[in-house]
Structures are given as C-alpha cells and as structure tokens.
C-alpha cells in the first residue's frame, strides 16, 4: 500500500467516478467502461473495504465540459466538501472534469478535506505542491484537448458552410437534393409560402397577412425534422411568430445563410445558463452566399420586407416610421414629416374625436415644436388624391378587376390543393387497409380506424370548402365583375362608401404617397403649407388655413344669423336653442 494512503483515508469511503461523454460511447466503447468499473478492485488493493467503496455512474452519457447537468459529479463534490470522502478514483482526470474551472474547484476541496485523487497512473495528494502541479497540468491538458477537438470539428464545418455545401434542416418550402437546396416538390407547400409573401406585399402588415389566412380557413405548412434526417410537413393555422420567421429568413431570397444565431453562456441569478442571440447583419453570420439556390422572392424584396417590419413596430409615444396603416381617424398617420425640424410627426387626441399632427421635438426649457388639426390637412390631401386618380379610370378599373380575379383564383387554388391532399390521404389509408390480410385482425382494426379518420377529415375539408365558396367569393360571377368595374370607375363613391374603412382609405393613400411635409406659415395669414411627395418622385404643394384655437371654436356665421333673426322676434334663449337644434345647427365646439 502507498505511503500516501493513511488510516484516516481508509476510514472514509472511496468514490469510484465513472463517466462516458455520450450514450454511443457507452454502447460502443464497452472496454473503456469495464476499465472504469475495474477501479473498484484497485481500491480494494489499496486497502479499502468493499462496504466502503461506492460507484458513481449516474453521469454515463454526460459531457464533462460542464458540471451543470452532472448530478453524480455534484454529489461527489458535495461529499468531499463535507469531509466524507477518503479518495476519488477515476480512470483519468478528464473523466472527472473537462473544464479547468470545475477541475480546480474540485482540487481545492480535496486539498481542504484531505481527500486523495487516484487514477491508473498514480496517487495524488492535492495539498502537496508537486502533486498539485501534476494534477493542474493534467486538468489543463484535458481542457485544451477538448478545445482542440471542438476547434477541428467546427473548423471543418465552417469551411464547408462558407462554400454553401453544409447540409442542415432546411426551412419550410425547401428540401436538399444531392446537397443542393431546391424547392419543396409539394405544390401546396410552395403555394402557401408564395401566398404569404404576396399578402405581406399587398397588406403591408404581418398581422393582416396572418388574419387573411385565418379568415379564409387556410392552413400553413411547418417542417418538423426527426433524428436521422427524416422530416415531415405538418399543417397548422398560421401564427404571427411563424410568419415573421419566414419573412426574416434570407433563405427565401436565394441566399445560403448559416450561423445567424449565436449561443453563449451567461451568469443569471448565480446560475450558468445558455443565452441565444439573433445576429442582425450578414457580416456577423458565419456563412453567407448570395444566389445560392432558387428563390421565392428577390433580395430587394427581402430587404424591403425587413424595412417594412421595422417601420411597423410602434415606437416611443406611438411614433412609427412610415409603418402599416392602423386604425384611427388621422388618414396620414405615419406619413407626416415636420417642415421645421424634419422629424416624424405623431398623432394625438388632445380633444375628444379631434386628431392632431404634433411634432415632439423640444429644446431645454422650451415648449414642443408645433401641431395642427389633422382633418383640415386630410381633406385637402384626399381632394388632390381623388383628382390625381381620376384620369385613367378605364385602365384602373380593368387592372382592379384583373387583380381581384387573380386573388380569387389563388385562394381557390389553395382550397383545391388542400382537398387534393385530403383525398390522397384517404385513398392511401384505403389502400393500406385493403393490402392487409383479412385474418390479421390486429393490424386490420388499426388500419380501418385510420381509414375512417381520414374519411372524416376529408368530409370536414369538403364542408369547409363549400362554406368558403359561398361566404368568401372564391369564384366571381358576372354580376360581381360588373360591380367591381363600376366601383373602380367611380373612386369618389368608393371612397365615401360606408363599407370603406379608415384603414382602407389609409392603404389607398399609401399606394401613391411617400411622405407629406407640413410647415407652419404665419404671414401674411396663418396657414399650413403641405408638400406631398408622390411615389413617382413628383411634388405637389397646397396651402390650408390654420385658424387659432379661438377661431376654430367660434360660433359659425350661419348660426349667428339665425340667432339674430329669432331674437328680433322676441324669442327666449331656451326657445332659440330649441329651434337651432331642430334645424340641426351646432355651436363652435360641434355640439347641440
């Protein structure tokens, strides 16, 4: 027996620590596992009684790079810190810890508790300088070894990714074919992906695109990968999170992008946790190759989508940069710029039902920049907008009809593909049932149940399709087309129709208007100068009166004339008020 093993060590238990990094190593490297269990015999040889030898093997299949999920190592360290362990047996240092931090912490505990560390090569006393030096070198080499192994493996992986050849679980709508990314051969999957990009292009909002799918009962595909490379498509209602992930993914623009997320370890409330971060720019990604595979959209449209998503985000105090059309009475919300300072103006409601365009720029000790009532500006801009849209009535009406027909055809095609898939799955379940031997009732009953389920699903899809045809105009009749042409030729009537919402009006304005710049004018009289920047690059200028607050609340002259007339007839105040209300006249605040 070694002179380092003393009686006080033999009086305490010996712990044999056994670990393999993966379950595959446990099954395939059985010789290594047997050698670790054989350390029990070494402990007996050094003088420990069998009853005082404990095997800790609950960390089989766990990596030694961290002690976070290794309950066996945590229990071992806790027992050492309580002075309950005489010696730790391990095949080599790397079995105890691949992390220098975990390893040196364990060495410190062993030195304080007078616990020996024993492997196949020797017996070490952590309180002895020479032994501690050897153990420290072994721990550092073990840590460096795992680092070098990881670096080699990751280096080869990065090299392959930078060439655009690394195969990874593809996003929904793509599959790998002989190492190349190609469109998913499933037509329904392709159509659904293209429809999402089209709806975002038309609606300008992720929420509206998602609402379109759910309103029309359209399901959206999602690829689920399984261990071993197999993956399957599942169909669910579209969610905002799923739509955002697709719109932000550069793969759909034909770019091979790998390494867009980063994972690092951080300290949270005293615990080491993994933090996932999304890298914003392509310069931060590990690999980025343009035009690497077929694309659903162009790169220009992809960048425009990202810009639009960013603009749609609501900013502080409700200021948003040219975002999507939202509810609210101010028609130019998000389009208005301050002519004084160039900042984006936001919409407020300082008075009930009276929206105001207001610039928030303030200097120290000064009041806000300026503001103006929204409806005067909106009325003038709408008047010019309707004049601009008047000349090409025939071309516009035909284009509108063609677009409505195209959208109806696209929606109908989605339903037809869904029906086709449901019929295929029902027929496939029928073929499987017919292929089984009648005597094999155990299998036949299961297949019969599955066939009945597919038939019920088919009936449900057919029922939903018939409802959608009647409710959502999947097919346009001649009368529908005639009504669309009539509305398109009479834009003012369409604008004033009770079915045209404020959001619809805002979206129509945004088709032609890029920005509206408002500047206050004080001489020769108070007014607001409106400069409209059209998307064609043209600029129009308008001037709108800007009365003071007192002027805006002044009783209208027609009302004053009626009051004078009734007063001349010796009417009392209450009788005059009743007569004014009967005539539908309002005071300066717009009230009875």
DSSP readout, 496-538?
Answer: H-TTS-HHHHHHHHHHHEEEEEEEEE-SSS-EEEEEEEETTS-
- Considering the domain architecture, whether residues 170 and 152 belong to the same structural domain is answered as no
Residue 228 has pLDDT above 80, yes or no: no
470 found inside a domain: yes
Active site residue 21: yes
pLDDT score, position 425: 87
522 found inside a domain: no
- Considering the domain architecture, whether residues 145 and 218 belong to the same structural domain is answered as no
| pLDDT confidence bin for 319, thresholds 50/70/90 | very low
**Domain's final residue, options 313, 338, 362:** 313
pLDDT score, position 325: 66
The residue with greater pLDDT, 320 or 68, is: 68
- Of 21, 205, 371, 397, the active-site residue reads 21
Residue ranges making up the domain that contains 279: 165-313
- Considering the domain architecture, whether residues 261 and 145 belong to the same structural domain is answered as no
The residue with greater pLDDT, 476 or 268, is: 268
Tokens of 50: 């069998």
Contact (CB, 8 A) for 44 and 55: no
304 found inside a domain: yes
541 found inside a domain: no
The residues, any chain, with a CB within 8 Å of residue 93's CB and separated by 6 or more, are 103, 119, 135, 138, 139, 142
- Considering the domain architecture, whether residues 174 and 56 belong to the same structural domain is answered as no
- Considering the domain architecture, whether residues 61 and 138 belong to the same structural domain is answered as yes
pLDDT score, position 471: 66
Residue 400 has pLDDT above 50, yes or no: yes
Give residue-wise pLDDT tens across range 322-367: 566 677 778 888 888 888 888 888 887 766 667 888 887 654 445 6
The share of the chain scoring above pLDDT 90, in percent, equals 17
Give residue-wise pLDDT tens across range 145-163: 777 777 777 777 777 777 7
Other CB atoms closer than 10 Å to residue 125's CB: what's the count? 20
pLDDT score, position 364: 47
- Considering the domain architecture, whether residues 118 and 28 belong to the same structural domain is answered as yes
Q: Report DSSP letters for 387-417, one per residue.
A: HHHSTTHHHHHHHHHHHHHHHHHHHHHHHHH
The residue with greater pLDDT, 270 or 558, is: 558
- Considering the domain architecture, whether residues 89 and 235 belong to the same structural domain is answered as no
Residue 308 has pLDDT above 70, yes or no: yes
Nearest to 545 by CA among 534, 558, 554: 554
Beta-strand relationship, 261-268 and 539-545 = unpaired
DSSP label at residue 251 = G
Range of weakest confidence among 2-11, 13-22, 443-452, 542-551? 542-551
**Domain's final residue, options 114, 132, 161:** 161
| pLDDT confidence bin for 479, thresholds 50/70/90 | low
Give residue-wise pLDDT tens across range 98-117: 888 888 888 999 999 999 99
536 found inside a domain: no
pLDDT score, position 321: 53
376 found inside a domain: no
Counted domains in the chain = 4
363 found inside a domain: no
């Amino acid at each position: 027996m070694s002179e380092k093993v003393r009686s006080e060590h033999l009086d305490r238990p010996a712990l044999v620590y056994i670990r393999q990094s993966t379950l595959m190593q446990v099954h395939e490297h059985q010789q290594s596992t047997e050698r670790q269990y054989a350390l029990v015999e070494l402990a007996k040889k050094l003088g420990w009684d069998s009853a005082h030898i404990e095997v800790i093997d609950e960390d089989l299949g766990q990596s030694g790079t961290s002690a976070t999920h290794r309950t066996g190592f945590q229990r071992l360290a806790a027992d050492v810190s309580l002075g309950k362990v005489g010696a730790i047996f391990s095949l080599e240092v790397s079995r105890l810890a691949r992390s220098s931090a975990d390893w040196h912490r364990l060495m410190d505990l062993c030195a304080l508790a007078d616990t020996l560390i024993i492997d196949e090569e020797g017996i070490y006393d952590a309180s002895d300088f020479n032994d501690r030096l050897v153990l420290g070198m072994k721990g550092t080499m073990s840590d460096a070894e795992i680092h070098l192994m990881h670096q080699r493996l990751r280096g080869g992986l990065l090299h392959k990714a930078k060439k655009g050849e690394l195969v990874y679980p593809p996003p929904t709508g793509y599959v790998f074919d002989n190492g190349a990314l190609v469109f998913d051969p499933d037509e329904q999957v392709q159509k659904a992906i293209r429809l999402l990009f089209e709806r975002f292009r038309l609606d300008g909002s992720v929420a509206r695109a998602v609402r379109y799918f759910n309103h029309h009962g359209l399901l959206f595909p999602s690829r689920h990968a399984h261990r071993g490379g197999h993956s399957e498509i599942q169909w669910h209602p579209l969610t905002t999170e799923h739509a955002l992930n697709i719109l932000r993914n550069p793969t759909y623009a034909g770019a091979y992008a790998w390494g867009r997320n980063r994972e690092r370890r951080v300290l949270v409330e005293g615990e080491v946790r993994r933090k996932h971060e999304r890298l914003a720019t392509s310069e931060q990604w590990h690999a980025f190759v343009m035009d690497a595979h077929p694309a659903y959209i162009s790169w220009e449209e992809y960048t425009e989508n990202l810009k639009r998503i960013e603009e749609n985000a609501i900013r502080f105090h409700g200021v948003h940069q040219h975002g999507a059309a939202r509810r609210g009475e101010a028609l130019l919300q998000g389009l208005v710029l301050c002519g004084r300072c160039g900042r984006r103006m936001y919409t407020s409601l300082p008075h009930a039902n009276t929206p105001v365009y207001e610039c928030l720029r303030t200097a120290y000790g000064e009041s806000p920049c300026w503001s103006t009532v929204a409806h005067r500006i909106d009325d003038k801009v709408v008047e010019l907008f309707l004049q601009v849209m008047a000349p090409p009535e025939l071309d516009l009406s035909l284009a509108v009809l063609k677009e409505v027909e195209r959208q109806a055809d696209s929606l109908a095609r989605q339903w037809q593909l869904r029906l086709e898939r449901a019929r295929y799955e029902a027929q496939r379940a029928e073929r499987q049932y017919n292929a089984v031997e009648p005597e094999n009732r155990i299998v036949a009953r299961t297949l019969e149940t599955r066939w009945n389920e597919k038939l019920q699903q088919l009936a449900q899809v057919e029922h939903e399709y018939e409802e959608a045809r009647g409710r959502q105009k999947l097919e346009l009749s001649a009368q529908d087309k005639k009504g669309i042409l009539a509305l398109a030729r009479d834009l003012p009537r369409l604008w004033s129709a009770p079915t045209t919402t404020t959001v619809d009006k805002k979206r129509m304005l945004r088709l032609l208007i890029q920005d509206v710049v408002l500047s206050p004018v004080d001489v020769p009289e108070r007014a607001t100068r409106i400069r409209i920047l059209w998307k064609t690059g043209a600029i129009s200028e308008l001037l709108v009166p800007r009365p003071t607050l007192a002027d805006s609340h002044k009783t209208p002259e027609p009302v004053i004339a009626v009051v004078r007339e009734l007063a001349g007839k010796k009417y009392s105040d209450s009788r005059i008020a009743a007569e004014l209300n009967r005539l539908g006249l309002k005071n300066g605040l717009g009230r009875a």
